[in-house]
Every structure is written in C-alpha cells, then in structure tokens.
Amino acid sequence: MIASPSGGAPGASTAPYDVWVTEAPLPSDDAPRGAPDGPQLVVRTVAIDDLADGATALIDRLPDTNALAWVRHGDGLVGWGEALRFETFGPGRFADADDKWRTVLDRALVHDDVALPGSGLVAFGSFAFDDVSPGDEEDAARASGVLIVPRVVVGRRGERSWLTTISLVGDRSAPVGEDLLSAYPRQPVTEPGRVALADGAVGAEDWPAVVAEGIARIQAGELEKVVLARDVVATAEQPIDTRHLLGRLATAYEACWTFSVDGMVGATPELLVRSEKGLVTSRVLAGTIRREHAEASSAADTGADDGTADDADLLRAAQLARSSKDLEEHEFAVRSVAAALEPFCSSMNVPEAPFVLHLPNVMHLATDVTGVLTDQGATSARRPPSSLSLAAALHPSAAVCGTPTTAARDLIREIEGLDRARYAGPVGWVGADGDGEWGIALRSAEISAKDRHHIRLFAGCGIVAASDPAAELAESEAKLDPMRYALGTR
C-alpha cells in the first residue's frame, strides 16, 4: 500500500514530500516527519448555521470539480482538497486501507464540537469490484482502492450542520486556518455541452449473447446466479464538471445516495452497510422492473418518487412482487448479506418478504437487513469492526456478483469481457470511531483521469435460470438512465 501527503493550493504540486511506501525499509533520520509511525493530522469541527436548505445545498458548497460527496435527501458530507491519500492494491485492498486508517486515528489530534456521525475526522473511499483486473488500458498501475482524507468537509444531519478542517503536521506547503478555506476559491459550474454515446467493451447488440451464456451455465448446474455488467462510453464537448453531475443526480434521485470519490460518480440506491453506535444496516436490492412512465418521460419530469404512483406503476409493482424469477434473485442476495453480517452481530433482523422500492426510472425488490454488533467489552483486546471492514466482509454480495460467490466471480472474469474497475465496488466514508456508510457503486460512471471529456457509464443485471437476454438488455438500459440524465443525454 502507498500513502502520500497531498498538500498545496489548487494547481500546485500534490506531493510536497516523497511518496511514502509502507513496505519500504526503516526510514533514515532525515525521513519526512510522521513517515515512520504514520502521518499525524490536526482536525477541528465547528457548528455552522449558514447552510441553505435543499437537496443540493451541500453540493453547492463544492469549490471545484475535484469533489468528494456522499449526500441523500440533502444530508451527508462533501469534501475538497487532500490532506492525505492512501492507495491499496489487490486482494488486501480493504484490510490495508483499514489498518492504515487505524494508524492515522491513533495519532490524530481531533477537536470536535459537534459529535455527530460524519463530524470530526473522516475519509472518503472507493474500491475495485474484483481482486484482480483484466487490465486498465488507461493506467495499468492504477490502485484498486483509495481512502482520501479531505482538507475541508461540510456536513449536515437533520437540523445541524458543521465545518471540519484537517491539516497534516509537518506539511509546510499547505494553508491552515482561514487561509485553508480561502485557498480553494469557487469556480463556476460548467456543463458538458454536446455528449456522444458509444458502445463500450461489449456492444449492446452482442451483450445478450453474453447473458445467454450465463443462463446456459446456470441451467447446466455450474452456479445459481451471476450478475453481468456492460458499459457505455460517453465523450463530452467540454471537460466534465463533477458538480454538474452531482447536482442533477441529487435533485432527480434524492432518495439515492449521490456520491463522488476519485472520479467515480453516481447515485446508488443500494446501501452495502451503515454502522452507527453499534447498529448495522444493509439495504439489499435485487429484482428490477422499469417504471411505465420512465419509458416516456425523463427523470427531470418525474423527480424523486412521492409514493403516489399511477395505476400502471402499481400494476408493475404488483407484477414485480409476484415474479418468481425476481424473488429468487432477491433471495440469493439477502441470504448472502445475512450470512456475511452474522459473525459480527449478537442479533439480527431479516424480514421474511421484500418491499418494492420506487425510484424515478425503475422499481426494485428491497430488504433492509439490520443487526446489533457484538459488544467487544471494555476489557476485550479486540477492536469492534469498522464500517470499512464490514463492507469488506459483505463484498461482493450476490446482488452484484452471484451465487455461489467464487463460481460467479470466475464466470464474470471468463465471459463478461469488461473491466469493471470500481463499478459495483464499495464507495462511501468512514469516521474516526469506525462508523460510516458504504454503498455499492451502482447507477454510476467513471470520469477518465487523463481526459475529463471521457466518462464510462455502467449497468448490470442479475441473471438466473429463468432470465431472458432481451429483457436483461432492456433492464440494463433502464439502469443507465440516471447517468444519461446527469449528462443531459435523455
């Protein structure tokens, strides 16, 4: 794993010291301050009262396109600047990030006047779906996991809002205090202009054959379920401003978790895990049907669902709730999440039947699995699991991989023909007490790090024995709608 301090004002070098490689030999006396035992951060959180109301109030605070965000119903966190960045690789990407985060916490000096989830020291993270990658043509050495500690965080929870500033001890190039806030002047939000869409790794005409192969393998008894994904490549006339995408997503998909971390942006309806004061929650989604009105109207017209679906949508919801194919797919996903959480919990609640979650473009079968974390006790040498370690234990669930997990992941590698990168991987944040929220990076896209005119959109579908390739293609098109809307192409 590589850890590096990121300093300086925008446009300046982001590496005032040499990159810190944690596997390197013991450092010499002239090593950067904090390198041997880990970096030391100074954190201050204060309450603020000037945050406007509305779904985009937090996003509107972001000064430039290098945005960090986790927002739902107007609450959540946004951040900018980088006080510290950890990059991890391969199968150990979660454990390495969690270990390094605990090291940072042990040395951090935190003054938190707010004491709410998300106040104090936080890091935003994004992790690859797979342990191995078939090869990133853009950057073969790109990390498969990242934790970013911002310099500035603005948060809101209900009626309370706060501002957190974070400084790295020994980073003389970084501004502090009031200079830290003024070092990031607000830049105007820009639109992408004309956007052209093209097939990704596997074309829309060819993808049903991939699905058919998955169905054949399931019917042959090799596995019970596999989730197959496809991508679409978009090229914009102007460099893509992350804030433009976030604002549109947060408005149209207010009930989803709108996120942005290290170029990965989207509005996910699926919460992999929330850990808060000993309670854990996971929202499992599997089983999908397109909303009737979504075929004729844009998300801008529909907005977030207010529960007053028309008759056609009510009929479709009933159809989804009775679909044996979708219920089977959903059961696999719920079982996998419950089994992964059980070792960490003293008690759990797994509802017997799912509910139908209404979103502007689709409806999902949904189940909220909850649990109480096992009390480690004051005398226990074991630390309670962090939200990041819980996310690692849950990933990949059957909702994004399949059942059995190993067989499904092997089949994905064999036939999907797509580098998922961080699509369908955990994305979210972790706090100083280990609590946090992690979603699955669905309804998402990845902005090119080398050319912000380019962005890859992703969608995936759960395949079982009763699946139909043409219907799965149509479902994938519906799942591409949020990012198409964000780009202004629908």
pLDDT at 250 over 80: yes
Question: Which region among 12-26, 85-99, 120-134 has the lowest average model confidence (pLDDT)?
Answer: 12-26
183 vs 303, residue with greater confidence: 183
Q: How big is the CA angle at 281 (ends 277 and 283), to the nearest 5 degrees? A: 155
136 vs 177, residue with greater confidence: 177
Question: Which region among 33-37, 288-292, 425-429, 433-437 has the lowest average model confidence (pLDDT)?
Answer: 33-37
Rounded-to-integer distance, Cα 167 and Cα 149, Å? 10
**Position 330: which residue type?**
H
Q: How confident is the model at residue 344 (pLDDT cuts 50, 70, 90)?
A: very high
Rounded-to-integer distance, Cα 490 and Cα 482, Å? 9
Q: How confident is the model at residue 235 (pLDDT cuts 50, 70, 90)?
A: very high
With contact defined as beta carbons under 8 Å apart, do 434 and 386 qualify? yes
Helix (H, G, I), strand (E, B) or coil at 157: strand
pLDDT tens digits along 81-102: 999 999 999 999 999 999 999 9
The predicted structure's pLDDT at residue 244: 98
Percent of the chain topping pLDDT 90: 77
pLDDT tens digits along 20-71: 333 323 333 333 333 346 789 999 999 999 899 999 999 999 999 999 999 9
Q: Would you call 225 a catalytic residue per the annotation?
A: yes
Residue 80 half-sphere exposure toward CB, CA atoms < 13 A: 24
**Which one of 82, 225, 254, 479 is the catalytic residue?**
225
The predicted structure's pLDDT at residue 304: 43
The predicted structure's pLDDT at residue 4: 55
The predicted structure's pLDDT at residue 29: 38
Give the tokens for residue 21: 């490689």
Rounded-to-integer distance, Cα 214 and Cα 402, Å? 11
**pTM of the complete model beyond 0.75:** yes
Question: Which region among 89-103, 239-253, 376-390, 440-454 has the lowest average model confidence (pLDDT)?
Answer: 376-390
102 vs 378, residue with greater confidence: 102
Helix (H, G, I), strand (E, B) or coil at 308: coil
The predicted structure's pLDDT at residue 379: 45
**Position 216: which residue type?**
A
Question: Which region among 126-140, 145-159, 165-179 has the lowest average model confidence (pLDDT)?
Answer: 126-140
Question: Which region among 166-175, 273-282, 461-470 has the lowest average model confidence (pLDDT)?
Answer: 166-175
Q: Would you call 479 a catalytic residue per the annotation?
A: no
Number of H helices, E strands in the chain: 10, 25
Rounded-to-integer distance, Cα 67 and Cα 243, Å? 7
**Which one of 213, 254, 270, 475 is the catalytic residue?**
270
The predicted structure's pLDDT at residue 295: 46
Burial (CB count within 10 angstroms: exposed 0-12, middle 13-18, buried 19+), residue 94 = buried
Residues 6+ apart with CB under 8 A from 221: none
pLDDT tens digits along 401-419: 999 999 999 999 999 999 9
Q: How confident is the model at residue 440 (pLDDT cuts 50, 70, 90)?
A: very high
The predicted structure's pLDDT at residue 377: 54
Q: How confident is the model at residue 312 (pLDDT cuts 50, 70, 90)?
A: confident
Q: Averaged over 414-429, what is the pLDDT?
A: 96
pLDDT at 168 over 60: yes
pLDDT at 134 over 70: no
Q: How confident is the model at residue 181 (pLDDT cuts 50, 70, 90)?
A: confident
Q: Averaged over 172-189, what is the pLDDT?
A: 80
Rounded-to-integer distance, Cα 395 and Cα 70, Å? 19
Q: How confident is the model at residue 343 (pLDDT cuts 50, 70, 90)?
A: very high
Mean pLDDT of the chain: 87
181 vs 1, residue with greater confidence: 181
Rounded-to-integer distance, Cα 388 and Cα 267, Å? 20
Rounded-to-integer distance, Cα 98 and Cα 260, Å? 20
The predicted structure's pLDDT at residue 7: 46
The predicted structure's pLDDT at residue 138: 56
Q: Averaged over 319-346, what is the pLDDT?
A: 94
pLDDT tens digits along 253-311: 999 999 999 999 999 999 999 999 999 999 999 999 988 755 444 444 444 444 444 78
pLDDT at 140 over 80: no
